[in-house]
Amino acid sequence: MLITSILLSVCVVILLGIPIAVALGLIAAVTMAATVGPDLLIIFIQRTYAGTTSFPLLAIPFFVLAGNLMNVGGTTERIFQVAQLCVGRIRGGLAHVNVIGSVIFAGMSGSAVADAAGMGVIEHRAMTKAGYSGRFAATITAVSSTIGPIIPPSIPFVIYGSLANVSVGALFLAGIIPGLLMAVALMAVIAAVAKHMNLPRGDALPPFRVAAGIIAKAGPALLLPPTILLVIFTGIATPTEAAVVAAAYAFILGRWIYRELGWNDTVEVLWDTARQTAQVMFIIAVSAPFGWVLIQQQIPNAILNAFLSMSSEPWVILLIINAVLLLLGMFIEGIAIMIIAYPVLLPIILKIGVDPIHFGVILVLNIMIGLVTPPVGLCLYVVAGIAKVSIADLTREIWPYVLALVGVLMLITYIPAISLWLPNLLGYGVAR
């Protein structure tokens, strides 16, 4: 009866539009009051505190800070110029540039919202100036931002690694090939749309000296992704320490190399970073007692038995899990989904023999697709605000790209080697 009440409560608060972090905390507190009695306050505080003391979580503010510094300090503009140099001359070139720019930015920030809010402004402005419709430009900007947290570094991978007690470095490696597949899938759809709509070609390649100048100016920025990966995978630094390196490097780029980051800008960036980090950490903190309640009430076991009663075939269970996660992504913020889902789904995927690293990629990709699916896809709202287009317009345009991402999700789900080959190759010893 209590299990049913908890699940119904979650559904009700979603329908009422109550902020998910507040709702989870309230549900956890009420359930604890009914089950543990006078010790409610002590346990609630203990679980809330424990949920935020994991060392890997310290990477979150620094990766957020790195992304914000790059957006303000001129790094993002130079990334866009390099991407334009690579693919800007083909049909629909600026749409392809949008995707390539997101791939490069992904190697520096790890945040879809930072991509949408930073690269998105530059990409959308360039596309509309070149004659692309505002709706099309906004759509490409939104869907390309989902690549950010798949290619390392990745804030969602840091959170999942902390929750599931798995290697964040292995998760970073596991995301590289899936992230590149996402880019290829989106560019394939763009190519088809470009041909159908007869979109313009970009300018011809500039003279060698001009191209060399663009690459030289962007060179310091382009060194950041391999630097982050190198210090992590050679054991020089942990992902958390690498996040500090990324933030410091981004500050040096903006302040002293590109000279576009003033002290007033720095203060504003620090404030934005503190606000964004507080939002994430609040969700993590109040979700921790909710996860404790789920485990204490044996809800994961109940759901595991329900799944196994439907089918014992791993491929069927994985299909159901993906369907549930995609549905949740349409209504709930991504980090909250991760924190709710991991204690429930982890026993299931272990039971059917799925590696936790592989499942981490599946989970995060589902969440990324949720960021661009209505009615509450966060990246849709960010880009709609930048582009001054309606959510309804974006919704009509976005489905072919969402289907392409779902296709990549299915490939990753049923071909584990796509995620696990690199971690195995570099000696992380995950299952094949």
Task: State the SS3 of 170-224.
Answer: HHHHHHHHHHHHHHHHHHHHHHHHHHHHCCCECCCCCCHHHHHHHHHHHHHHHCH
- Please indicate, yes or no, if residue 276 is contained in any of the structural domains: yes
Structural domain includes residue 6 = no
- Gap between the Cα atoms of 303 and 183, Å rounded: 34
Is residue 4, in this structure, part of any structural domain at all? no
Q: Tens-digit pLDDT profile for the chain (432 aa)?
A: 565 666 676 667 666 667 777 777 888 888 887 777 777 778 888 888 888 888 888 888 998 899 889 889 988 889 888 998 888 788 888 999 999 999 988 887 777 877 787 777 888 888 888 888 989 999 999 999 999 999 998 999 999 998 888 999 999 999 999 999 999 999 999 999 998 888 877 777 788 888 899 899 999 988 888 888 888 888 888 888 999 999 999 999 999 999 999 999 999 999 999 998 888 888 888 878 888 887 787 777 777 777 778 888 999 999 999 998 998 888 777 887 887 788 889 889 999 999 999 999 999 999 999 989 887 777 888 888 888 888 888 888 999 999 999 999 999 999 999 999 999 998 875 554
Residue 2 located in a structural domain: no
Q: Is residue 312 part of a domain?
A: yes
Residue 430 lies in a domain: no
Peptide bond between residue 375 and the one before it cis (omega within 30 degrees of 0): yes
Residue 10 included in any domain = no
Where are the strands (E) in 263-422, listed by range? Answer: none
**3-state SS assignment for residue 91:** strand
What type of residue sits at position 309? S
Count of domains forming the chain: 1
Domain extent at residue 256: 19-32+39-425
Residue 133 lies in a domain: yes
Say if residues 352 and 317 touch (Cβ distance below 8 Å).
yes
Beta bridge partners of 91: 201
> Does residue 153 have a cis peptide bond before it, meaning omega lies within 30 degrees of 0?
yes
Structure tokens at 345: 């789904």
